Structure 1
Amino acid sequence: MELLPGVRRRDVQTDRIRMHLLEAGPNDGTPVVLVHGNLSTGRFFEHVMPELAADGYRVLAPDMRSFGRSDPAPIDATRGLDDWSDDLAALLRALGIGAPPHLAGWSTGGGAIARFALAHPAASLTLIDPVGPYGYGGVRDDGTLVHPDGAGSGAGGANPEFVRRLREGDASADSPFSIRSVMRQTYWSPAFRLPPEREDVLVDEILLTTIGDGGYPGEVASSPHWPGFAPGTTGLLNALSPRYLRWDGIVDLAVKPPVLWTHGAADVVVADGSMLEAGTLGRAGLIPGWPGEAEFPPQRMVAQIRTVLERYADAGGAVRTEWFEGSGHGPLFDAEARWTRVFREFLGSAG
C-alpha cells in the first residue's frame, strides 16, 4: 500500500543508528515528532500526518530501534527507555532541528518522550495511553517495587506462543495468539475495524520487529519471588520494567512543557487492572500461586498516571486530560476524528 498523499519516507543516518523516517509538511515548519509504541512503527501515525502537515507542521514519525526499518540495534533495558530517548535526540541533530519539538508518544512512546523531556527541551508532550510513570508490572501505587528484582515484570511475561508466531511471521487471524488477532483485541476497541488493506499494512509493519533478546521481548531472567520471572538486561519488555523505567521526574522540571494526556476508557493494555499485568492475572487465577493483594497487588496504571500529572500541575505545569469513552488503547484510531481535533487544538495552544 502506497504512502498517503503528502507523506514521504527516507532513511537518516544519525550518530547512533540509522533510522527509518516518515515525514510530512514543510521542512521549515515547527517540528512535531510522533513516537510509536511497542510492536508498531512510525507508520501507525501515517493517517494523522496529512492534517498536521496542512497546519504547517514538520511532522516526523520514525521507526524506533529494533522496530520497523530502522537498525535492529539492541535495547539496553537497564537504561529504561533512554536508548529511545537518545535516538530521538540523535535524529533531531542529524536533521539539523535545534528548536524544541512537540512530542507525541503512544504507549511505550509516551514513556520515551517523557524521558526525552527530562534531558532536552520540549515544546509540548502528548501522552497517548502511555506506559505508567513507574513502568509496567510489579510496582505499587507509590512507585516502589513489589520485589527489589522487579519480579513480575519484563520479558518473562510474554506469551511464548505469541512470540513464536511473531518470529515465524504469522500474519493470519487463525489463533488468538497471532499478531492480527492481538492487534484487533488490544490495540483499539474490539468493536473497531480498520479497512482490510490498512490492517494488512500494519500487520506487515509489526512483523518487521526484531525478535530476540535485544529486541522483543528481551532476555528472560528468573526470580525466587512469585511469579518466578524478573526483568533481564536487554530488550523492550525489560526496558519497561519498573526496575529500570520511571518518568515521574517530569514533576521536578524547572521548565515544564504543557502536557496533553489522551486515554481510551476501554484500554486493556494500560489500565487499572490490565489483564496483561502479572498482579491482575494472578488475582484472576490465570497465574497460579498468587500470594495475595498485600504482597503482589495489581498495578493501577491509570491512577499512577493521574497522580503524577496532578503533581505536575500542582508544581506549575499545564495539563489537559481528554478521556475517550468506548475507545481502547489507541484512540487515535478508534476515535480518530475527535483525537486529531483535540491534538491539533492542543498544538495550537502550546505555541
Structure 2
Amino acid sequence: MVLAGLSTLVPAMAQNVQNAQRLRARVSAQSIKNGRPTDIFILSANGPAVQFVETRESQEVLQQMASAFKTLYIFETDDFVDAKVAMENRKYQDARNKFHALVNKYASTLSIKDSLSARAAVYELEAAMRMMDWAGVKALVARFPVKASNLSPSAQDDLEVAKIMALIPDKDWNGLKTRAASFLATKKNATRLQQARMKYALGAAAMVAQDWNKALDDFAEALVLLHGSDEELASACVVRSLDAYLRMPDVAKFLGDSAVAAAVEARKHNPETVIPDMQMKARPAHVKEAAALYRLHELMLPDRKLPAKYDGFAVSYKHPAAAAPAQDSAKAPAQAPAQPEKKQ
C-alpha cells in the first residue's frame, strides 16, 4: 500500500502502538495507493505530521505530513455516535457531558482539520446553545480548543454564532446588534438555525431597547426560520413575544378589564374558559395577535405549559370553530313556509 514519501517508522510511537487508539479514516494522498482513496488507522497527530498504521492490527507505525493528504476524514466512533443519539433525543446535558469527554479523549488528533475532537467540541458548544445556557456558551467559547482554520466552513459559522450569543450574559447589546447584523449580511450560506439564532439575539436586544415592534418582527422571523429545528429557542421566541405584548399600553388596558380577570380566574377550574362575546369583539389588534401566538405555542409544543401570567391571552383566543355555527346560520338560505297538502 505504502509508496515512497512516508516515514516508515516512528520509534517513540512504535513502542506504544499496542495501547494507542486507532481511529479509522478515509484518506487520499499521492504516497498512498497512488492517490486512490483508502482507509488507514490514525494513532495521533504530532504537529504537522500524522502517525498511523495501515490496518487495525498492524504494528508498523507510519508518518505522513498532514499537508500531503488531499482528503482526510476520520469516521465517527461508537462513543461519538452514542453522544449524537443523546443529542437527537434532546438529552442535551447528557450529550454535552459526553462530547466534553470526547474532546479530551481524542485530543491527540486536534491538529488535523475537522478532527473527531474538533467535531466533539463543536457539538458540545451546540448542546449548550440548545439549552440556551448563554453563560455556559461564553465559558466554552473562551476555552475553545480548536483553531477556526481546523473546522469545517459550517462549524466555523457555528463558532461565530456562539461568540455572538456569548455576548448575552455580558449584556453587550450594541456589540451583539452590530455583529449579528454583520453575520446576517455577510454569511450568505448560513444555515436556517444559525440565522434564527441571530434573529433571536436581535430580538433580545430590541426588548432591552423597549422597541416592542422590532422585537416582535425579529422573534417572528426566528420562528419561521426554525421550522421546528430547535424547540427550546422556538418556545423562547413565543415567550419573549408575549412579554413584548404585555408591555403595550392597549394590551395592558384590555387585560385589566374585570371580565378578563374573571375569565382568567375561571380558567383555573375550566381550561376552556374564554372572555364574554362583548369583550371578545372589543379585543385590540395586539391582543388578537398575542392570543393567536399563545394558541400557536399550544399546538406547536403541547407538552410545554406557558406561565400563568399569559393566561389573559389564553382566554382571549377565539376558536374558529366557535364562530362556525353562527356563520352557518347566517349564510343559510331562508326556507319557504310549508305548503298545505292538496286534497285529491
Superposition TM-score tier, normalisation by shorter sequence: under 0.3
Higher helix fraction (1 or 2): 2
Higher relative CO (Cα under 8 Å, sequence separation at least 6) belongs to 1
* Higher Cα radius of gyration: 2
More strand by proportion, 1 or 2?
A: 1
